[in-house]
Structure formats: C-alpha cells, structure tokens
Amino acid sequence: MNNILKSFDPSDDNLLIGGVNLLSRLFVGTGKFSSHEIVPRVLKASGSQVVTMALRRVDWKNPQENILNYLPSNTILLPNTSGARTADEAVRIAHLAQAAGCGNWVKIEVVQDQRYLLPDNWETLKATEQLVKEGFVVLPYMSPDLGAARRLQDAGAAAIMPLGSPIGSNRGLQTKELIRILIEEISLPIIVDAGIGRPSEAAEAMEMGAAAVLVNTAIATAGDPVFMAQAFRLAVTAGRLGYLAGPGERRIEAEASSPLTGFLQEV
C-alpha cells in the first residue's frame, strides 16, 4: 500500500483557502472526545491542519481546561459559531473568537432547529456578508441548496460547507445528489461537513470531487479514535486520488474485461 501512496505526492495537490495552502483535506472537530488528552494523538494520526472548536461560557463550578492548550501550535483554528440562532449572534461569536486570539477564520453555524440541527441558510448568508466585509475568512455550514450556495459565493465565502446528514448522526451522504450539484456548479471549494460516519463515506465525498471533509463525531465516538483518525486520513487521500485519476464510465450491461476471442472450445 505504501508504494501506491508514494507515487501520489499530496504536496502537488494543495487546497487553497484564505490564502493558505493546505496539504491535508481532512478537517477535524474537537467535540465529544472522552478526554482532552487524546486530542493531540488524534490530530497527529489524522494529519489534519484545520481544527474546529466552540466558544462557551466558563463553568465556575466545574472549570475545564481550555481545548487550545491541546492543539499543536501550527494548527489553523476554525472556531465555529455554534449556539448562534441569528446572524447577529454568529457575528458576535466570531468577534469574541477573534478577540480570544483565534485568528480570522470562522465557521458560520446558525441553527434554530434543535431536533435536526439544520442550519438556517438565510441567517448564515447575512452573517457571511458581514464577516467577509470585516476581513474574516468565512466558511459557512449550510443546507445544500444551489441558490444559497451561489449567494454565499457572491458574498465572498472562502468555501462552502454543505451537510451530508444531520450533525452527529453518522448517517453519511444523505444529501449526495445536492452536494454533487454544488460541486459541479460552484467554483469555491466544497467541504462536506456533518454526518460523515465512516471512512468509506469520506472517500465517497472526495471521489465526487469534494475539496475536503470535516469529521468530528465519527472519530470522537469510535472505539479507537486514533485508529479511526488514521483511517479517515487514508480514506480522504484515496478518495481524492480516485477523483484525480478520473473514474471510468458506468454501464448497465457487462463489458468483458477479458478478450472475447480464442476460447478453448472454438473449432
């Protein structure tokens, strides 16, 4: 396997976002891990350079150590605006994250629906417009919709992050056809976020031409998160290589792989 991977040099295939050339197309979320201590090992195994986290009120009675203390210093921090129900709340969280020294990347996440945690594309667009004007590198999490994606692109988003299925559901690419259309029609990088539950699903998204995937729950809740992080790393590389290689045509009927002449029974 190593010989096959050696012939593909990922350093020739960078993903450019916000002026940064990323070697890894796997973004990793830091929620739901059993302890902070495992996070550095997971990140190392994943090879990820972009990592998400959330901003929350300090709990006086049960102070937890800051997750930033567990991230390698060269990590690109992608704070999310989870908890925001409106564009104004998302903008406020982005300002706070920046003031906390998180740089200028932000994943916009505006959700009112508490059952499926589906994003509100309208409020997401308003927050994107505002934060792009302020100089943020904005990556909006969105429900895959071509019209909304075009508006986010026009607003200056750095990438579009459609969901594969509801956050934390591990149900894979339920929105596959809509994501395919976004990949085809939108010139920005499409990063599939939310719902990817298995390495094969990450590979599938990459084979379709997704620029990257963001994975959290599938790694954090795996029996062995470090092995799973490595599995996702390989799956993302494999899927990307499959996309670049250009898959062959699909057919309804068989087309023999072996020659159809020279059979033994021929007289």
Partner 1 sequence: MQIIVNGEALEIPPECTVFQLLHDQAVSLKASVVELNGKILKQEHWQSASLQASDRLEILVFMGGG
Q: Is 53 in the site for partner 1 (CB under 8 A)?
A: yes
Checking phi first, is residue 266 left (phi over 0); if not, alpha (psi -120 to 50) or beta?
beta
* Residues between 181 and 240 with contacts to partner 1, criterion CB under 8 A: 194, 214, 216-217
CA distance 91 to 84: 9
State which residue, 54 or 76, has the beta carbon closest to partner 1: 54
Radius of gyration in angstroms for the set of CA atoms belonging to the chain, rounded to a whole number: 20
State the minimum distance, in angstroms, from the CB of residue 227 to partner 1: 19
Q: Please pick, among 107, 126, 133, 176, the residue that the annotation labels catalytic.
A: 107
Residue 64 found at the interface with partner 1 (CB under 8 A):
yes
- Residue choice 47, 79, 225, 239 for contact with partner 1 (CB under 8 A): 79
Residue 99's alpha-carbon distances to 36, 76, 124, in angstroms, are 23, 16, 21
Piece of the chain touching partner 1 by CB under 8 A; list 56-64, 121-129, 221-229, 243-251: 56-64
Spatial CA neighbour of 54 closest among 85, 88, 83, 33: 83
Asked if residue 68 binds partner 1 (CB under 8 A), the reply is yes
The residue behind tokens 């062995």 is 224
Smallest gap from residue 252 Cβ to partner 1 (A): 40
Kindly compute the dihedral angle of the four CA atoms of residues 250, 5, 42, 240, in this order, to the nearest 10 degrees: -30
Told to check if 246 binds partner 1 by CB under 8 A, we report no
Q: Is there binding between residue 52 and partner 1 (CB under 8 A)?
A: yes
Instruction: Output the smallest distance, CB 217 to partner 1, in A.
Output: 7
The only residue of 32, 41, 44, 133 in contact with partner 1, by rule CB under 8 A: 32
| Strand partners of residue 77 | 51
Q: Is 69 in the site for partner 1 (CB under 8 A)?
A: yes
Q: Which residue has the tokens 């976004």?
A: 182
What single-letter DSSP state applies at residue 250?
Answer: P
Tokens 């929350």 map to which residue?
A: 56
Of 19, 63, 147, 246, the residue at the interface with partner 1 (CB under 8 A) is 63
Region near partner 1 per CB under 8 A, out of 48-56, 155-163, 199-207, 231-239: 48-56
Phi, psi of 60 (to 5 degrees): -55, -45
Stretch that binds partner 1, among 6-14, 76-84, 173-181, 231-239 (CB under 8 A): 76-84
List beta partners, residue 190: 160
Whether 126 is a known active-site residue: answer no
Using CB under 8 A, count the residues that bind partner 1: 38
* Rounded distance between C-alpha atoms, residue 143 and residue 118, angstroms: 7
Contact partners, residue 234, CB within 8 Å, separation at least 6:
199
Distance CA 116, CA 150 (A): 24
Note whether 60 binds partner 1 by CB under 8 A.
yes
Binding residues vs partner 1 (CB under 8 A): 29-33, 36, 39, 52-58, 60, 63-69, 79-80, 82, 95-97, 99-102, 167-168, 194, 214, 216-217
Instruction: Give the catalytic positions in this structure.
Output: 107
